[in-house]
Amino acid sequence: MASVSMQRVEAAGVPVGYFTQGTGPEVLLIHGAGGHPESSFANLLDHLAQDRRLIVPGYSGSSFTPLPEDGELSFELLADQMIEVLRATAHGPVDVIGFSTGAGIASVIAAKEPELIRRMIFCGGFMHYKDPRQRMFIRTWLKLAKLDANGFADYSTIHALSDRYLDSISADERFQIRVGLMPSDGLVALCKLVNDMDLSGYMPKITCPTLVVAPTGDQLIPNRYARQLRDVIPGSEYVELDSGHLVAVEKPKELLKIIDEFLDQRS
């Protein structure tokens, strides 16, 4: 990853951190709830920045941006933070790539401010967390955050990565991933946000060209939830990729090929 300098813009009293990299058509990258801007896209940035200008913010709960004073989060709040970043640095409509929770944030932006977005890619996205499996998962996640930080990190890691990939990497690589998934205040706040999420009112309002990428080995967000997005977003395209939830970690080359094909065919 090339050397970058942090910039900040204020959104509702919160200093939102972001950086830019590269030149060309602009692309906004929105990370997932357990990720951070400096690590989530490490395998993607140099390639994407060869012929694009990347805008990479961190919303509240990430390493770039603090929680609001009351600690309360909403998708509308996080979307407004991303909108303020775009207003501060973008030169026109941008392409958006949203990962996991970041896909949900992108859907709110697209519904509220459609003129800001040219087209979107969702990877590992989902619309709500209302189904029984989801409810059981998030309850266990939040209990572990209170009772056993290492258990929380282990539980997160085994669901975020496919079994094949997790078994194939070194102990040091597993450790580095686990460290990033320890239950910080920001991550717990984002887990609580996901616990209450229902974005089904926003998804049908998306009017820009949208590609839904579904990791077939995703144990965190099974790909049937990606198919729900495909079915409710008007005119959306859909592609599957053999990976766990953290596609940018497991299959960066394959993901970049999908991104390039979708964005280049519509340039």
**Per-position pLDDT tens, the chain of length 267:** 455 789 999 999 999 999 999 999 999 999 999 888 888 999 999 999 999 999 999 999 999 999 999 999 999 999 999 999 999 999 999 999 999 999 999 999 999 999 999 999 999 999 998 899 999 999 999 999 999 999 999 999 999 999 999 999 999 999 999 998 999 999 999 999 999 999 999 999 999 999 999 999 999 999 999 999 999 999 999 999 999 999 999 999 999 999 999 998 855
Q: Is 4 exposed, middle or buried (0-12, 13-18, 19+ CB in 10 A)?
A: middle
Measure CA 150 to chain center: 23
Report pTM: 0.95
Q: 249 is in which domain, residue-wise?
A: 7-129+197-265
Beta bridge pairs of residue 54: 21, 27
Neighbouring C-beta atoms of residue 226, cutoff 10 Å: 26
158 part of a folded domain: no
**Residues in Cβ contact with 67 at an 8 Å cutoff, skipping those fewer than 6 apart:** 14, 60, 61, 73, 185, 186, 189
Residue 161 lies in a domain: no
Beta strand pairing status for 210-215 and 7-11?
unpaired
The span from the CA of 64 to the CA of 52, in Å, is 22
* Integer Cα distance of 45 and 29 in angstroms: 10
173 within domain boundaries: no
Give the position of tokens 């932006």.
Answer: 109
251, part of any domain: yes
- Based on C-alpha coordinates, what's the Rg of the chain? 17
Beta-bridge partner residues of 240: 214
Q: How distant, in Å, are the alpha carbons of 170, 230, 246 from that of 149? A: 22, 35, 21
Per the listing, tokens 């709830």 go with 33
For residues 249 and 74, what is the distance between their CA atoms, to the nearest angstrom?
Answer: 27
| CATH code: domain of residue 217 | 3.40.50.1820
Tokens (6 digits) for 18: 């972001």
**Which one, of 175, 182, 190, lies nearest residue 71 by Cα?**
190
Q: Quick one: tokens of 93?
A: 């409509």
For the chain, how many structural domains are there in total? Answer: 1
